[in-house]
Amino acid sequence: MMQKQRVIIVEDDEITSLNLNMSLQKHGYSVVAVCDNPEQAENKIQTHNPDVIIVDISLQKTSDGIELAKRIKEKYNIPFIYLTSYSDEATISHAKKTEPYGYIVKPFDPNSLHATIQMALFKYQVENERKENIQTLKLDKTNLEKMLYLKKSDSEPIVPFGDEYHLDISKCETFYQGKKIKLTKKENAFLRLLVAQIGVVVSFEQAMNYVWDENGATENSVRTLVWRLRNKLETDIIKNASGIGYYIEEN
Per-residue pLDDT of 176-198, as tens digits, reads: 999 999 999 999 999 999 999 88
Per CATH, the number for 141-248 is 1.10.10.10
Amino acid, single-letter form, for residue 47? T
Q: Which superfamily does 6-135 belong to?
A: Response regulator (3.40.50.2300)
- Cα(179)–Cα(240) distance, rounded to whole angstroms? 26
Q: State whether residue 211 is helix, strand or coil.
A: helix
pLDDT, one tens digit per residue, over 95-153 is: 888 889 998 888 888 899 999 999 999 988 888 776 665 555 556 677 777 888 888 87
Residues 6+ apart with CB under 8 A from 167: 148, 158, 159, 161, 173, 174, 175, 191, 192, 195
At residue 26, the pLDDT reads: 93
- DSSP character for 172? T
Contacts of 35 (CB under 8 A, 6+ apart): 8, 9, 10, 11, 41, 44
Nearest to 17 by CA among 113, 115, 119: 113
- The dihedral through the CA atoms of 29, 107, 83, 105 has a sign that is positive
pLDDT in tens, 11-52: 988 999 999 999 999 999 999 999 998 999 999 999 999 999
DSSP, residue by residue, 40-95:
HHHHHHHHH--SEEEEES-GGGTTHHHHHHHHIIIII---EEEEES---HHHHHHH
Per-chain mean pLDDT for the chain: 87
pTM (2 decimals)?
0.56
Q: Where are the domains of the chain?
A: 6-135, 141-248
What is the model's pLDDT at position 61?
61
pLDDT of residue 241: 86
